[in-house]
Amino acid sequence: MSLLEVENLRTYFYTESGIVQAVDGVSFEVDRGETLGLVGESGAGKSVTVKSLLGLVNSPGKVVDGSVRFDGRDLTECSERELRREVRGSEISFVFQDPMTALNPVFTVGNQIAEIVEYHTDATESEAYDRAIELLDDVGIPDPEQRVDQYPHEFSGGMRQRVLIAMALSCNPKLIIADEPTTALDVTIQAQILDLFDEIQAKYDTAIVYVTHDLGVVREVCNRVAVMYLGKVVEHAPYEELYRNPKHPYTQSLLRSVVRPDERVDNLNPIEGTMPSAIDPPSGCRFRTRCPVAVDDCARIEPPRLDVGPDHDSACILYEEGYGTDEPRLHQRGKP
């Protein structure tokens, strides 16, 4: 059994302009100790997906369907109190894009880390303080004994992100959800933070869901990848397989738009057009308005996720029987 099993998750926002189908039937799994990348353009529904897992979607948003099984328990059935007390920040923790908004400017970083440790464990105040120093050391902050008593503004952007990661680690979570944690950082610092995620995984055996719009980042940290487009997972595979053998036309376009280290920048080939609104998404395949190989049926048939290789599925009707491609079967685990 996987650590996290998300099945047919739907999260809608009931706005005055209509129902935003932000997440519309998303399924994926994360095994213990592995990193799953959740990738897609802005507005694909990545953040709403991960917030839905932990009951963090606020009105007018609502999880309207699906299940989120974590370690054998359905989180969609848990009360807010249970989630706060037993899940968030202890079993599962979050690292967000902007460390400044997640840190409280009036408390020292040591205080903030120790507070979480005290809330979730039996540690005394002084044990929690020592644990804070240990954690700062673990995430590569030099002189942790001095730094522990400093305030967030005394840290650089990259160091603040390390503090957030230390906070996320403070209760030995089984799963860390990182939503674009390096987007606000410059490239060198980004690379260091990505290395840090690798080290953490090796040391703590934590599973990670890593949200990003950047497939280059994914290659650094992820074992498997789920590609999202307009509220749906359109392709899922181990990273190497996805990179070498992308099947969905959207993934193929995404990969073409990544600057690969072995290629020159002028090969950069951004995807044409923009993602349609999630209020009234295209019928059939949601990618069809931008798909270079769309056929008439794409407007009529909503493509299910079909197995196209080992642990690899893709939601494109070109892989249905009768379209002349290599005999895929309906993907069994995550239904369409």
Ligand X SMILES: Nc1ncnc2c1ncn2[C@@H]1O[C@H](COP(=O)(O)OP(=O)(O)OP(=O)(O)O)[C@@H](O)[C@H]1O
Establish if 298 lies at the interface with ligand SF4 (CB under 6 A): yes
Instruction: Output the smallest distance, CB 230 to ligand SF4, in A.
Output: 11
Instruction: Output the smallest distance, CB 119 to ligand X, in A.
Output: 28
Residue with tokens 């917030």: 51
The number of residues that bind ligand X (CB under 6 A) is: 15
Q: Which does 44 bind (CB under 5 to 8 A by kind): Mg ion, ligand X, ligand SF4, none?
A: ligand X
Contact segment (CB under 5 A) with Mg ion among 40-48, 195-203, 238-246, 287-295 equals 40-48
Interstrand relation of 232-238 and 312-314 (parallel, antiparallel or unpaired):
antiparallel
The number of residues that bind Mg ion (CB under 5 A) is: 1
Instruction: Output the smallest distance, CB 325 to ligand SF4, in A.
Output: 10
For ligand SF4, the binding residue among 202, 268, 293, 330 (CB under 6 A) is 293
- How far apart CA 65 and CA 297 sit, in angstroms, is 27
Beta carbons of 141 and 147 less than 8 angstroms apart? yes
CA atoms within 13 A on the CB side of 200: 31
Contact segment (CB under 6 A) with ligand SF4 among 13-21, 108-116, 272-280, 292-300 equals 292-300
Whichever of 5 and 180 has its CB closer to Mg ion, that residue is 180
Establish if 218 lies at the interface with ligand SF4 (CB under 6 A): no
Residue 207: C-alpha distances to residues 30, 151, 202 (Å): 7, 29, 10
| Residue 192: how many other CB atoms lie within 10 Å | 15
For ligand SF4, the binding residue among 75, 287, 306, 331 (CB under 6 A) is 287
Q: Is 320 exposed, middle or buried (0-12, 13-18, 19+ CB in 10 A)?
A: middle
Q: Which does 249 bind (CB under 5 to 8 A by kind): ligand X, ligand SF4, Mg ion, none?
A: ligand SF4
Span 9-38, contacts to ligand X by CB under 6 A: 13, 15, 20, 22
Establish if 44 lies at the interface with ligand SF4 (CB under 6 A): no
Instruction: Output the smallest distance, CB 294 to ligand SF4, in A.
Output: 4
Establish if 316 lies at the interface with ligand SF4 (CB under 6 A): yes
Residue 63: C-alpha distances to residues 15, 72, 120, 194, 238 (Å): 14, 20, 27, 31, 28
Establish if 318 lies at the interface with ligand SF4 (CB under 6 A): yes
Q: Which residues pair with 209 in a beta bridge?
A: 36, 177
Q: How far is CA 282 from the centre of its chain?
A: 25
Establish if 49 lies at the interface with Mg ion (CB under 5 A): no
Q: Which of 214, 290, 306 is nearest to 255 (CA)?
A: 214
- How far apart CA 281 and CA 25 sit, in angstroms, is 14
Span 198-237, contacts to ligand X by CB under 6 A: 213
Residue 60: C-alpha distances to residues 13, 57, 161, 190 (Å): 5, 9, 30, 34
Peptide bond into 310 cis (omega under 30): no
Q: Which does 40 bind (CB under 5 to 8 A by kind): Mg ion, ligand SF4, ligand X, none?
A: ligand X
Whichever of 40 and 110 has its CB closer to Mg ion, that residue is 40
Establish if 47 lies at the interface with Mg ion (CB under 5 A): yes
Q: Which residues pair with 30 in a beta bridge?
A: 4
The number of residues that bind ligand SF4 (CB under 6 A) is: 13
Residues at the interface with ligand SF4 (CB under 6 A): 248-249, 285, 287-288, 291, 293-294, 298, 303, 316-318
Residues at the interface with ligand X (CB under 6 A): 13, 15, 20, 22, 40, 42-48, 61, 213, 278
